[in-house]
Structure 1
Amino acid sequence: MNPEHPFARAARTVRERRRLLGIHPAELARHMQVSPAVLDALERGDYDPRSLHTVARQMLSHHLNIPLEPLQERSSTAR
């Protein structure tokens, strides 16, 4: 993942938190009601987290115990 990518901060937050909690990507994707490919793209910074449907963002926030804010904004390097 390129640290200059506009979604690098959200990607890093999601990936690191999921790993820390020991949640398998397929399990999290199922709870989010998205395909594992979407979660993988999100964790690489290749998917705009703001494009996730509301339930997916809420489930991601709930299961990883992270605030929604990092999932709703671009990284400051993207400006």
Structure 2
Amino acid sequence: MPVAEQATSLFTHSDKPVHILDLGSGTGILGAVTARQAAPGSSVLAIEQDDKLASASELSLAQVCDRTKVIH
């Protein structure tokens, strides 16, 4: 989690909703932390090859963002 928070601190904050693309999302932690810090109405599109990681990514993202899609 600290590494994900440090990575997202490099992004420019916007008061407007953003579209977040998380390629190779793994467990979805980076996308989830980014979405948590983004403006309301933001969305996340995550792409993950591994079945188990794609499921974990869906769970992680659903906790912080209503507008998510995980492509497996």
Task: Tell me the TM-score normalised to structure 1 length.
Answer: 0.27
Higher relative contact order (CA 8 A, sep 6+): 1
In terms of fraction of residues, the more helix-rich structure is 1
More strand by share: 2
TM-score (norm: length of structure 2): 0.28
